[in-house]
Structure 1
Amino acid sequence: MIIQVNTDNHITGHQDFIAQAEATVSDALSHVSEHVTRVEVHLNDENSQKSGPEDKRCMMEARLQGLPPIAVTHKAETLAFALDGAAEKLKAALEHKLDRLQHH
Structure 2
Amino acid sequence: MIIQFNTDKTINGDVKHQEFFSDQIENELDRFRSHITRIEVHLTDQNGKKEGINDIRCLLEARIEGRKPIAVSDQADTVEQAVSGAIDKLKAALGTIMSRLKDH
TM bucket normalised to smaller: over 0.9
- Secondary structure of the 1:48 match is coil
1:46–1:56 contact (8 Å) kept in structure 2: yes
| Equivalences, count | 104
TM-score by length of 1: 0.96
2:16 aligned residue: 16
Distance 2:23 2:98 in 1: 22
Alignment of 1:21-32 (within 5 A): 21-32=21-32
Q: Which runs of 5+ in 2 are unaligned?
A: none
1:98 aligned residue: 98
Distance 2:79 2:51 in 1: 12
Alignment of 1:32-71 (within 5 A): 32-71=32-71
Structure 1 stretches of 4+ with a deviation exceeding 2 A read none
Give the RMSD, CA atoms, in angstroms.
Answer: 0.8
Q: Residue 17 of structure 1 aligns to which amino acid in structure 2?
A: H
Q: Deviations over 1:22-65 (max 9, x none)?
A: 11110111011001000000000111111221100000000110
Identity of aligned residues (%): 44
After the TM superposition, which of the residue ranges 14-23 and 67-76 deviates more from structure 2?
14-23
1:7–1:13 contact (8 Å) kept in structure 2: yes
- Secondary structure of the 1:5 match is strand
Distance 1:12 1:25 in 2: 18
- Secondary structure of the 1:71 match is strand
Q: Residue 82 of structure 1 aligns to which amino acid in structure 2?
A: A
1:88 aligned residue: 88
1:7 aligned residue: 7
1:73 has 2:82 as partner: no
TM-score by length of 2: 0.96
- Secondary structure of the 2:11 match is coil
